[in-house]
C-alpha cells in the first residue's frame, strides 16, 4: 500500500475542500422551486472529503449491519487522486465473510460519495461504481490486533484509476485460506516428526552403552 497517503484529519488535505450545495437558490430563474434539491449532474462538484470520511465511518462502524466491524480509516492523496480504504475488523472474521466485507467496502464507499456528486455512477451487480474511473483504489481488511502490520491483513489490493478490476470471489479467497492453513499445518508437523524420531533413537543408544559394559 502507498505509505505516502495521509490521513484526512490532516489540515493540509482538508484545505480547499469546502462543501458545495446543489440546492437551488431562491432567485433561480430555471423554474426550480426554491429549496428543492437539484438532482441534475454537475461537472464541477467538489467532493467534501471530510464529510465523506464522517459518513463512511457511520456506515462501516455500524455493528448491527457489520457485526465484525471495529473501525474505519479513509486516507487520501488528492493531487494524485488516490484513495485508500482500511476497514479494521475483529480478529475472528470468518473467511467466508472476507469477500462480502470487501465488496461492501468498495461499493459502499462509492455509493456514499455519489450522494454528493450525482454524476458518479452507483455500484451494481456488474460495477463497483464510477468513482474508481477517476480515483485509484487501495483497500484492505485489517485484523484489530495487528492492523499496523499489513502482512497480516485478511485481504488487500490496489487498482489504478480506470482499471476494470474484479475483487477476489469468496471461492478464490477460501482456496487461498485453505492453502495457507495447509502450509502452516505442514510446518507444524515437521518439527514434531523430527522430535519423535530423535526420541526413538535414544533407547538404542542406551542399549549400546549397556552392551559395552
User: What is the arithmetic mean of pLDDT over 2-16?
Assistant: 32
Q: What is the pLDDT of residue 45?
A: 79
Listed residue (85, 77, 79) closest to 56, CA to CA: 85
Answer whether residue 33 shows pLDDT above 50: no
Please tell me which residue, 44 or 107, carries the higher pLDDT value.
Answer: 107
For 6-20, 139-153, 194-208, which range has the lowest pLDDT when averaged over its residues? 6-20
| Under 8 Å between Cβ of 148 and 130 | no
As a whole-number percent, the residues of the chain with pLDDT over 90 amount to 62
Using one digit for the tens of pLDDT, what is the confidence trace for 36-93? 544 454 556 789 999 999 999 999 999 999 999 999 999 999 889 999 999 999 999 9
When pLDDT is averaged across residues 14-28 and rounded to a whole number, the result is 33
- Strands (DSSP E) along the chain, which ranges? 6-7, 69-77, 82-89, 136-143, 155-159
**3-class SS at 97?**
helix
* Residues in CB range of 162: below 8 A, 6 or more apart: 132, 133, 134
Residue 140, strand partner residues: 86, 156
CB 165 within 8 A of CB 181: no
- φ/ψ of residue 69, rounded to 5: -75, 145
Please state, in angstroms and as integers, the Cα–Cα distance from residue 61 to each residue in 45, 69, 123, 208, following that order. Answer: 27, 6, 20, 68
Amino acid at each position: 500500500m502507498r505509505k505516502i497517503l495521509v490521513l484526512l484529519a490532516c489540515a493540509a488535505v482538508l484545505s480547499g475542500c469546502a462543501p458545495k450545495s446543489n440546492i437551488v437558490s431562491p432567485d433561480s430563474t430555471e423554474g426550480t422551486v426554491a429549496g428543492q434539491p437539484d438532482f441534475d449532474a454537475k461537472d464541477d462538484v467538489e467532493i467534501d472529503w471530510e464529510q465523506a470520511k464522517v459518513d463512511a465511518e457511520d456506515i462501516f462502524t455500524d455493528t448491527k449491519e457489520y457485526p465484525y466491524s471495529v473501525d474505519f480509516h479513509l486516507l487520501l492523496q488528492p493531487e494524485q487522486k488516490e484513495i485508500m480504504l482500511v476497514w479494521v475488523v475483529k480478529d475472528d472474521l470468518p473467511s467466508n465473510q472476507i469477500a462480502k466485507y470487501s465488496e461492501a467496502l468498495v461499493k459502499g464507499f462509492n455509493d456514499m460519495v455519489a450522494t454528493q456528486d450525482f454524476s458518479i455512477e452507483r455500484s451494481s451487480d456488474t460495477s463497483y461504481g464510477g468513482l474508481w474511473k477517476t480515483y485509484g483504489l487501495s483497500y484492505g481488511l485489517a485484523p484489530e490486533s495487528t492492523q499496523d502490520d499489513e502482512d497480516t491483513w485478511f485481504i488487500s489490493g490496489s487498482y489504478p484509476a480506470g482499471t476494470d478490476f474484479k475483487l477476489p470471489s469468496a471461492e478464490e479467497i477460501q482456496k487461498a485460506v485453505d492453502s495457507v492453513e495447509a502450509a502452516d499445518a505442514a510446518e507444524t508437523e515437521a518439527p514434531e516428526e523430527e522430535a519423535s524420531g530423535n526420541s526413538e533413537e535414544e533407547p538404542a543408544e542406551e542399549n549400546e552403552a549397556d552392551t559395552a559394559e
